[in-house]
Amino acid sequence: MKKWLGFAAAVAMSFAITSASAADKLKVGFIYVGPIGDHGWSYQHEQGRLAIDAALGDQVETSYIEKVDEGPDAERAIERLARQGANLIFTTSFGFMEPTLKVAKRFPDVKFEHATGYKRADNVSTYSSRFYEGRYIIGQIAARMSKSGVAGYIGSFPIPEVVRGINSFMLGAQSVNPDFKLKIVWVNSWFDPGKEADAAKVLIGQGADIITQHTDSTAPLQIAGENGVYGFGQASDMIAFAPNSQLTAIVDDWSSYYVNRTKAALDGTWESTDTWGGINDKMVGMAPFTNMPDDVKAEAGKTTAKIISGRFHPFQGPIFKQDGTEAAKEGEIISDGELLGMNWYVKGIDDQLPQ
Amino acid sequence: MDGTQAIILTIITASTPLLLAAIGELVVERSGVLNLGVEGMMVMGAVCGFATAYTTGSPTLGIFAGIMAGIGMAFIFAFMTQTLVSNQVATGLALTLLGLGLSGLIGESFVGLPGVKLVPVSIPLLSDIPFIGRILFGQDILVYASIALVIATTYVLFKTRVGLIIRAVGDNHHSAHSLGYNVIMVRYACILFGGACAGLSGAYLSLAYTPQWIENMTAGRGWIALALVVFATWLPKRLAIGAYLFGTVWIMGLYVQAQGLGIPSQFLSSLPYLVTIIALVIISGNKTLTRVNTPACIGQSFVPDR
């Protein structure tokens, strides 16, 4: 039922996309998994689209379809954009991977960009952000700010992207407090403010005095604020929701990537690439460090600077897996390939990873 | 705050919106109308409640606006199905789609704004009683409203003449019509009541549960409420049990996860549905009674002979 409704909504929304007027302009299309009003994931992609409009508005025309379900419906939505003459299409969720490739095959002259995926083609690029860099920093802050030594982590789905974030957070926390504890709750949804709020309340009730989330709404941070514990923003700066509780936020910033790729498509230098950018590439940003003492702030700033300069990598050995086996030797860095398929917890997490 | 107390408080917050929306739909269905638009009315209640509370700074006005938005949506449904005699299932689904789309449009400029939280009442002395004080006497007004609604609905439906008429209309609209009751008007009133409850439930989400507006924030709670009504065999008391059972299992699922026992989260997420259905099927095991309680005319349109 919900799927069907989602599809109907997608169809209804697709009528609302802006239509083309000038034929000579480059047309750039976006597919969003959520509503642009989620103030999280899709919202940030929308900010990227607006950045294209602002920078190249005289040469390009952008449009989007929001609330597109991952799965077969996505193929129809992507194809619709392609048929309407889009020259460059960004599909902004992991689940759009197969649909993007399928449509790309049928439209060899259209350029596609798929976020967070790993399958490419001559006309399909992939791009993602190294959010885990930010997670290491907030892990470190969390361990400094926590009195109970326990943080609550609200996860969406146990996919490598999220598991990597949990590990990175934990490694950051352990760098400050080796006995730091993490309680993890999976809500099996990217977006359910009520359930995310419930999870936050339960975690706080169990002694967590730091709340962090890998879901898309502002609810967990807001609950943290109401209960006087600390939290972090996710995807965008959410300080307005918890002015006295947000320590910082990991901010997705797609603007420069989107503008650059659109420029490349305009001047004909576009080719299929794989981009995985971090803080250094300005694809991951940190919101101002707030509500913390100056020494913690300074330390967080230092870690950020070390990551930017490349002198430090969050997954730099020695790293041990939960079962005690060594994942990376002293000085060794876990490879991008291993990071992209990460399906194990680091030592110190007393939870079992759902398989 | 004590852990157990925190969990009980969380359970109450999680159950209240379900109960509010479901009690309204129960009355609607008792009058023989199936309104599948609960989700749509709820989400409109949420956005209008939030927008009004944010603009005026008054959660009370927000609650009122939420109720009015629910009634407005319900009126569309009532006009379509009762006056124009459209198909109830299709109209209800359309109402949900309309609500989700329209609320996104209305709420566009309210995304990302911190809301006005409905402050829980605090009865002096009583709410200071250790443990049970906060739970019994420190809730927000809508939690008490939901309980009051269950009691009032039970009373009105089964102890008053009005309730008898509503049930008569739902069980056999032709007979009720022959007895001189205005079937259409009774149904109009019930549908509007259902809309008010759904709108109130939505306002609860955006003012008390998570004081903010995010598109689609009902996240399927309207559908859960609809299912609860059926499994509670249209009895308010069972509905309350069902809603609280659902909320309890839902929160305990999260609680167990945080304990790190390694039970698959997908299983825990599906558990509330499973437990609630099984429990309500067991308590409504008496088939004859179930048949008596089922509104016989549910989903059927009524066209009076002229």
A194 vs B216: CB contact, 8 Å cut-off?
no
Would you state the pLDDT for residue B259? 81
Residue A311, number of CB atoms within 10 A of its CB: 9
Q: How far apart are CA A158 and CA A341, in angstroms?
A: 11
**Is the pLDDT assigned to residue B283 strictly greater than 90?**
no
DSSP annotation of B66: H
Would you state the pLDDT for residue B2? 63
Same domain, A121 and A154: no
Same domain, A238 and A168: yes
3-state secondary structure (DSSP) of residue B141:
helix
Same domain, A107 and A48: yes
Same domain, A62 and A122: yes
| Chain A closest-CA separation from residue B152 CA (Å) | 27
Residue type, A205: G
Residue B248 in tokens: 């309890």
| Chain B closest-CA separation from residue A115 CA (Å) | 22
Q: Does A42 touch chain B (CB under 8 A)?
A: no
Would you state the pLDDT for residue A1? 43
> Of A278-282, B203-207, B267-271, which has the strongest mean pLDDT?
B203-207
Same domain, A121 and A151: no
| Chain B closest-CA separation from residue A70 CA (Å) | 16
A194 vs B7: CB contact, 8 Å cut-off?
no
A201 vs B13: CB contact, 8 Å cut-off?
yes
Q: In angstroms, what is the C-alpha Rg of chain A?
A: 20
Same domain, A115 and A172: no
| Mean pLDDT lowest among A6-20, A24-38, B225-239, B263-277 | A6-20
Q: Is residue A261 part of a domain?
A: no
CATH number of the CATH domain containing A334: 3.40.50.2300
Q: Which of A129, A160, A188 is the last residue of a domain?
A: A129
Same domain, A108 and A80: yes
**Which chain B residues are Cβ-neighbours of A13 within 8 angstroms?**
101
Instruction: Enumerate residues 98 to 157 of chain A having a beta carbon within 8 A of any beta carbon in chain B.
Output: 152
Same domain, A75 and A150: no
- In chain B, whose CA is at the least distance from the CA of A220? B210
Q: Is residue A109 part of a domain?
A: yes
- In chain B, whose CA is at the least distance from the CA of A184? B258
Residue A206 is nearest to which of B3, B215, B264, comparing CB atoms?
A: B3
What rounded mean pLDDT belongs to chain B?
Answer: 90
ipTM > 0.85?
Answer: no
Same domain, A49 and A98: yes
Q: Is residue A349 part of a domain?
A: no
Would you state the pLDDT for residue A16? 46
CA distances for B151 relative to A96, A181, B8, B70, B198, angstroms: 49, 45, 21, 21, 17
Residue B74, number of CB atoms within 10 A of its CB: 30
Q: Does B120 touch chain A (CB under 8 A)?
A: no
Same domain, A245 and A149: yes
Pairing of strands A284-286, A246-252: antiparallel
Same domain, A231 and A294: yes
CA quadruple B127, B131, B132, B138: dihedral sign: positive
Would you state the pLDDT for residue B265? 81
- Per-residue pLDDT tens digits of chain A, which is 355 residues long: 444 555 555 545 444 444 444 457 899 999 998 888 777 888 899 999 999 999 999 999 999 998 888 878 899 999 999 999 999 999 999 889 999 999 999 999 999 999 988 889 999 999 999 999 999 999 999 999 999 999 999 998 888 889 999 999 999 999 999 999 999 999 988 778 889 999 999 999 889 999 999 988 889 999 999 999 999 998 888 998 899 999 999 999 999 999 999 999 999 999 999 999 999 988 999 999 999 999 999 999 999 999 999 999 999 989 999 989 999 998 899 998 889 889 999 999 988 887 6
> Which residues span the domain enclosing A140?
132-252+285-340
pLDDT interval class at B72 (50, 70, 90): very high
Same domain, A290 and A155: yes
Backbone angles phi, psi at A186, to 5 degrees: -95, 130
Q: Which of A95, A112, A129 is the last residue of a domain?
A: A129
- Counting Cβ atoms within 10 Å, is residue B276 exposed (0-12), middle (13-18) or buried (19+)? buried
| Selection from B232, B201, B236 nearest residue B219 by Cα | B201
Q: Is residue A262 part of a domain?
A: no
**Which chain A residues are Cβ-neighbours of B269 within 8 angstroms?**
186-188
| Mean pLDDT lowest among A17-21, A22-26, B86-90, B146-150 | A17-21
Q: Which of A80, A112, A129 is the last residue of a domain?
A: A129
| Chain A closest-CA separation from residue B100 CA (Å) | 8
Q: Is residue A225 part of a domain?
A: yes
Would you state the pLDDT for residue A15? 46
Give the dihedral of Cα atoms B51, B52, B58, B63; nearest 10 deg: -100
Instruction: Enumerate residues 172 to 211 of chain A having a beta carbon within 8 A of any beta carbon in chain B.
Output: 183-189, 191-199, 201-208
Q: How many CA atoms lie within 13 A of B189 on its CB side?
A: 11
Please name the residues in contact with A258: beta carbons below 8 A apart, sequence gap of 6 or more. A48, A49, A51, A52, A90
Pick the residue of B215, B250, B270 with the most A CBs within 10 A to test the interface with A by mutation: B215
CA quadruple A211, A162, A241, A129: dihedral sign: positive
Pick the residue of B214, B224, B246, B250 with the most A CBs within 10 A to test the interface with A by mutation: B214
**Domain count along chain A:** 2
Residue B7 is nearest to which of A9, A205, A217, comparing CB atoms?
A: A205
A194 vs B254: CB contact, 8 Å cut-off?
no
Q: Is residue A12 part of a domain?
A: yes
Q: Does A6 touch chain B (CB under 8 A)?
A: no
Q: How far apart are CA A127 and CA B153, in angstroms?
A: 56
pLDDT interval class at B186 (50, 70, 90): very high
Q: Is residue A308 part of a domain?
A: yes
